[in-house]
Chain A
Amino acid sequence: MVNTAAWDIQDHSGQLFPGLPARFGVPAGPGVVEGNEIPYQPWAQARKQENYKNRLTADPEAQCYLPGVPRITYMPHPFQIFQFPDRVVILYEYLHTTREIFTDGSRHPTLPVEFWMGDSRGRWEDNTLVVDVTLFTGETWFDRVGNFHSDALHVVERYTRTSPDHLLYEVTIEDPKVFTRPWKMRMPVYRRQEPNSQLLEFECYAYAREETAGDAK
């Protein structure tokens, strides 16, 4: 992913990130939200502003928690897609995050269960993989400026191959507890071209712990 949605899914200027030296600031970027508007209910708009003020510590990413869907897709780390007859597996470098998207016609479980990464069921519509994701926790955000959702989040992702080296990634967000209507994001995904590209690791919380570890003995 080469956009700046990880910092802010809406239009934004280059700026300092609170608490960090200027060189770790926020890169400017056009938003990925259709129409650039997120239709928050009034209480939720106020909550988003609150999140923004407290973003340095309140962002679940600051705790290195699993980032949820769709945020994992536009984190600044690569991912790799593997296809099987009954599922699509996406492995992400960030936190070794794993998604199994079942394409065998099965439905979401009806148990009272929730997942940081949701439960994904996919189907093929012509050249598009359509993934229905539900059973989320209400604890993840969409970006680093406090855009958020509740546990009623319902995500529909559409992955469409638009060239040998590009996917179009479209997302519909629905959450009747937080928004007044469904809304959409849309962005291209670019294939890595480096011959030695491979998923490495970004074990965020392990690095945070290592700060206290000192040098190797």
Chain B
Amino acid sequence: MRSSVRWAIGVAAIGAASLLASHVAQAQQGCPAEAALFHPCAQARAKTFRPPRTRDGKPDLQGFWRGPAYGTENVEEHPMTDDDNGGKSLIVDPPDGRVPYQPWASAVQKENRSKYVEPNVPCFPSGVPRSMYVPTQIEILQTSSAVLILFERAHTYRIIPTDARPHAGPAVALWMGDSRGRWDGNTLVVDVTNHNAKTWFDQVGNFHSPAAHMIERFTLVDPDTIHYEVRIDDPRVYTRPWTMAFPLRRNKEPGFRLLEEACHEGERNTDPLIRAGQRIYPGVSEEPRKP
């Protein structure tokens, strides 16, 4: 009741036209990009934003999108260097913005960076969630029984069935994981398992095991922003589940389409790295480590 009184006073004071203008400006401005600020702002907006709907009544996530490309350098906060644009951590939980590794796993992450070819260099699929923030164009398409995500990066895709079918059998390991979706109110919730875990989260060797269980949430919070969250649970590697959150921003360029990135067909960087002594990352075994 009090808020509606304030609303009426507000309209009287500043006028309907300027109120509308300020709302439009706010929507255009959107929530701040930095994950720690974006996340609570987007959560608040999700409570009131009414997303456009597809013909079968589901929130319409379709279109072209881009994630925060600096995350592929390092999902944690990292400085600008000759190689990196730098950026704040994509991790919103734990609040310190760090991957909560077990001690052995923290050592493995450091070793990864020095010992192995970064798995994106040979054009391997970027996996989940890295595909969502690797520097590329993303296209989302929806049918009544699936959500498709197409990535220009190395022409990969995800098919996310939303028809309640069970996951693939546990022996099936996939670069892009096995995704199953469902709608929870205005949010697409995707359960991702069956990782082959030969992908990294980023260029500095942040990693998970094949047992990782990820839960993603896609929520439109304004016409041109998806609030993307992914909770990563992998008791073999981390001390606790952890969560990344960031905006996917709409690409509104007229006539835009995904082109073909024939990545492997022209790739010439891996062989010199192998000759210099680096190895292809074999992943970590599914067995728990002895302390």
- Residues of chain A touching chain B, judged by Cβ–Cβ distance below 8 Å, are 63-66, 80, 82, 84, 89, 91, 95-98, 100, 102, 115-117, 196, 198-201, 203, 205-206, 209-210, 212-217
Contact = CB atoms under 8 A, between A and B. Distances in A.
Given A82-B143, A84-B143, A203-B125, 9 more contacts: A65-B265, A82-B146, A96-B125, A96-B154, A100-B150, A205-B122, A206-B122, A210-B198, A210-B280
Contacts of B37: none
20 contacts: A65-B262, A66-B260, A80-B159, A82-B143, A89-B141, A96-B176, A97-B155, A98-B155, A102-B257, A117-B260, A196-B168, A200-B172, A201-B125, A201-B174, A206-B124, A213-B280, A214-B279, A214-B282, A215-B282, A217-B282
B69 interface: no
B161 interface: yes
Contacts of B161: 198
Chain A, interface SS category: loop
Contacts of A205: 122-123, 264
Contact of B155 (A80, A95, A200): A95
A213 B175 contact: no
B157 interface: yes
A41 B284 CA distance: 54
Contacts of A217: 108, 282-285
A65 B154 contact: no
A214 B280 CA distance: 8
Contacts of B172: 200
Interface string B271-290: 00010000111111100000
B106 interface: no
Interface string B161-185: 1000100100010111000000000
A167 to B, nearest CB: 18
Contacts of B136: none
7 A-B pairs with least C-beta separation: A213-B280, A213-B282, A216-B285, A96-B156, A115-B260, A216-B283, A205-B264
